[in-house]
């Protein structure tokens, strides 16, 4: 997953990154709330890890801004020294998905992140064969997408891009995010490749003829696939 971390303790941040990258995730760190929010307005992520007590804007204020303005759907985990029941309840009631108190432990941290990854759809292709989004069906064993029972001719990258967009229904996903998760961080391609593939998918999936589906470009950011039924 693509993970963004808000943590002002640089040693703690480096430790989290080491654990998460060893587990196969990609991490970006910010040490104050203002920088974090600025970055999130220009990009998208699969998971957010928040410390509560950070400079400029607290982790709680960042969470509220995320949920109200930036991304209502991204999973959020607090990792903080604040350990009272009231703190935990406040975080969960404002949209956090999990809460961990410092000091955190290596294997527990990875296990919690992996649990969220499963709920968010990462790794699902290993456990489920079909995903249905009427009139579309994704067959993860055959790596095929069909519309109203007819298989759509797709390249491998078009299929992977389709799956990732459907897994992130309703979210604005940045071009950089798509590039990393579909093509890989070492891919020697540019964002124009994303635009070309999205244009082809819009045609192949027939979104112009499906009134309940909309794949739109978000200016200076990326794309959003929506079911508007």
| pLDDT at site 130 | 79
Q: Beta-strand (E) ranges in 102-186? A: 130-133, 136-139, 144-147, 150-151, 172-174
Percentage of the chain surpassing pLDDT 70? Answer: 95
Among 1.10.460.10, 1.25.50.10, 1.10.10.10, 1.10.1780.10, name the CATH number for the domain at 126-227.
1.10.10.10
pLDDT in tens, 30-40: 999 999 999 99
Residues 6+ apart with CB under 8 A from 33: 6, 54, 55, 56, 57, 58, 59, 61, 62
Spell 50-80 as b/e; 16+ CB within 10 A means b.
Answer: bbbebeebbbbebbebbbeeebeebbbbbbb
Flag whether pLDDT at 62 surpasses 60.
yes
| pLDDT at site 219 | 83
CATH 3.40.50.2300-classified regions of the chain: 2-119
CATH 1.10.10.10-classified regions of the chain: 126-227
Helix (H, G, I), strand (E, B) or coil at 185: coil
Calculate mean pLDDT across residues 45-51.
97
pLDDT in tens, 98-126: 999 999 999 999 999 999 988 877 765 44
What is the band of 191 on the pLDDT scale with cuts at 50, 70, 90?
confident
pLDDT in tens, 140-179: 889 999 999 999 999 999 999 999 999 999 999 999 899 8
Question: Quick one: fold of 2-119?
Answer: Rossmann fold (3.40.50)
């Amino acid at each position: 997953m693509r993970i963004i971390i808000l943590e002002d303790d640089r040693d703690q941040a480096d430790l989290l990154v080491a654990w998460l990258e060893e587990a196969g995730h990609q991490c970006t760190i910010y040490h104050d709330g203002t920088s974090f929010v600025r970055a999130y307005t220009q990009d998208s992520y699969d998971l957010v890890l928040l410390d509560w007590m950070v400079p400029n804007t607290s982790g709680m204020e960042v969470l509220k801004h995320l949920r109200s303005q930036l991304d209502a759907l991204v999973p959020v985990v607090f990792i903080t020294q604040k350990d009272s029941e009231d703190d935990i309840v406040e975080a969960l009631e404002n949209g956090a998905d999990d809460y961990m108190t410092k000091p955190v432990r290596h294997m527990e941290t990875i296990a919690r992140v992996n649990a969220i990854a499963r709920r968010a759809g990462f790794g699902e292709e290993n456990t489920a064969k079909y995903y249905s989004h009427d009139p579309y069906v994704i067959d993860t064993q055959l790596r095929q997408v069909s519309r109203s029972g007819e298989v759509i001719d797709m390249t491998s990258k078009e299929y992977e891009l389709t799956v990732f967009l459907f897994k992130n229904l309703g979210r604005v996903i940045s071009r950089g995010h798509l590039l990393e998760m579909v093509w890989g961080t070492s891919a020697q391609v540019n964002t124009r490749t994303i635009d070309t593939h999205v244009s082809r998918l819009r045609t192949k999936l027939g979104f112009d003829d499906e009134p309940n589906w909309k794949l739109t470009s978000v200016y200076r950011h990326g794309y959003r696939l929506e079911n508007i039924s």
